[in-house]
């Protein structure tokens, strides 16, 4: 057996052991064969789900350990973003960071960037070579307060997934603007079908963000307006009132079942089964190949959201943001690993394997004919970032939470007032440099 093969076997065995045990602490691991000519360095990773963990492991085996003079052995642990049992990924990540014994590398959610920066959990990667490999949009989505806080392993968009056959049953086509969208919703409702099979998370917030923030990013002087928002001189409700009002209209008109939505997690079997069984005509989706891997017995189309008078809008963002722990005991090696993962070729391969869009220059996209309308939106300006890091307050997570409150019965006025208050509080907490 060659040295390289033995190293691959050792790394794979260690990763399998960690994944099977679903450990939340670093494993001791078995003794493994290592070539005594190479110094071995153990790098630890905490990731969202086993898929991304396995892909990073593959890159360690096939790329990093062929280019380094040291042998990098990856210990990989993962957790689900949404907690079915135990703690969620975000809760576990925070506990690990606070413990002082956190991992060398971790996937940082957009929701936690401002707080992690305040607590000193982010290493600034701005001087790394990979920065020049990223598309402008992906780099913007990885930069906060002048710091490049992560390597985005992919780029993505949120939109709608349609049951085209169900629309055709009622003489309808996939809508392309707000007027057509409302016609589709009303026609389906009149025929006993709840149009939109929403979930409690981004299923609600995408509607509010799209309808609320589109005028900000597509209006005059967006940079000036964003500066005013982050100074606190322009209330966020100036824009989000229209978004929350749009969501309330969808609820009040019966275009989505709010009680059902509030008990449904995104990407759950419950959500997929309702869509598969024709109980709804559309669900929210992330632009990726796995959306089409389900056994849906009908024609599908993935589009941006047709909720504007002038057409569609989608929510975009860097995805699977790989960050470096500044307190890593193997900081130089962790940085070398990130640099190796951040080549254009490797980022394109990440996207290909996950059937997503690359975060590298050119935004090379997976071949997904059904998703062509949504993928084309990624290359156009004036889409809405899920978290705009030019702001010093949260959008993505806060809007999700406020949409739940709206669904539970809070008024539009109440959630707007709460958001304006949170905006000012967070600006004071995260003033930046």
pLDDT at 35 > cutoff 70:
no
Structure tokens given for 40: 């071995």
Q: What is the pLDDT of residue 38?
A: 64
Task: Please state the rounded mean pLDDT for residues 8-36.
Answer: 37
Which of 203-207, 336-340, 354-358 is the least confident region? 354-358
pTM of the model: 0.86
Taking the C-alpha atoms of residue 285 and residue 375, their distance in angstroms, rounded to an integer, is: 12
Q: What is the pLDDT of residue 102?
A: 81
DSSP annotation of 73? E
Instruction: Count the neighbouring beta carbons within 10 Å of the beta carbon of residue 23.
Output: 13
Residue-wise pLDDT for 147-204, tens only, equals 999 999 998 889 999 999 999 999 999 999 999 999 999 999 999 999 999 999 999 9
Structure tokens given for 158: 């949120």
Taking the C-alpha atoms of residue 5 and residue 258, their distance in angstroms, rounded to an integer, is: 54
Residue-wise pLDDT for 359-395, tens only, equals 998 876 666 767 777 777 776 667 899 999 999 999 9
Identify the helix (H) or strand (E) that includes residue 16.
helix 3-21
In order of 156, 354, 375, 378, the CA distances from 371 in angstroms are: 12, 14, 6, 11
Taking the C-alpha atoms of residue 397 and residue 306, their distance in angstroms, rounded to an integer, is: 23
């Amino acid at each position: 057996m060659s040295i390289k093969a033995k190293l691959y076997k050792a790394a794979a065995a260690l990763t399998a052991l960690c994944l099977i045990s679903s450990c939340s602490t670093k494993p001791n691991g078995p003794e493994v064969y290592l070539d005594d000519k190479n110094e071995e360095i153990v790098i630890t990773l905490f990731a969202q789900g086993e898929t991304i963990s396995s892909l990073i492991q593959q890159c360690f085996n096939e790329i990093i350990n062929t280019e380094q003079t040291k042998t990098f052995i990856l210990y990989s642990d993962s957790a689900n973003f949404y907690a079915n049992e135990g703690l969620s990924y975000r809760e576990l990540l925070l506990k690990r960071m606070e413990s002082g014994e956190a991992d060398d590398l971790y996937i940082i959610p957009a929701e936690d960037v401002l707080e992690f920066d305040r607590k000193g959990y982010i290493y600034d990667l701005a001087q790394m070579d990979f920065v020049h490999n990223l598309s402008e949009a992906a780099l913007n989505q990885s930069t906060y307060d002048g710091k490049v806080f992560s390597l985005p392993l992919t780029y993505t968009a949120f939109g709608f997934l349609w049951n085209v056959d169900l629309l055709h049953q009622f003489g309808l086509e996939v809508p392309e603007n707000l007027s057509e969208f409302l016609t589709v919703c009303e026609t389906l409702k009149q025929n006993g079908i709840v149009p939109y099979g929403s979930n409690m998370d981004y299923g609600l917030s995408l509607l509010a963000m799209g309808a609320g923030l589109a005028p900000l990013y597509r209006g005059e002087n967006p940079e000036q307006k964003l500066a005013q928002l982050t100074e606190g001189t322009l209330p966020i409700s100036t824009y989000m009132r229209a978004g929350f009002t749009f969501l309330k209209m969808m609820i009040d008109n019966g275009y989505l079942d709010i009680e059902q939505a509030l008990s449904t997690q995104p990407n759950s079997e419950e959500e997929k089964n309702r869509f598969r069984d024709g109980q709804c005509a559309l669900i929210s989706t992330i632009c990726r190949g796995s959306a089409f891997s389900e056994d849906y017995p009908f024609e599908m189309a993935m589009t941006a959201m047709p909720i504007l008078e002038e057409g569609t809008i989608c929510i975009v963002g860097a995805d699977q943001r790989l960050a470096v722990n500044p307190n890593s005991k193997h900081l130089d090696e962790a940085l070398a690993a990130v640099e190796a993962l951040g080549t254009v070729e490797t980022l394109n391969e990440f996207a290909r394997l996950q059937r997503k869009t690359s975060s590298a220059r050119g935004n090379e996209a997976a071949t997904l004919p059904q998703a062509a309308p949504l993928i084309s939106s990624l290359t156009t300006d004036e889409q809405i970032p899920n978290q705009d890091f030019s702001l010093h307050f949260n959008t993505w997570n806060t809007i999700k939470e406020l949409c739940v409150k709206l669904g539970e019965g809070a008024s539009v006025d109440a959630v707007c007032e709460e958001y304006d208050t949170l905006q000012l509080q967070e600006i004071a907490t995260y003033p930046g440099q």
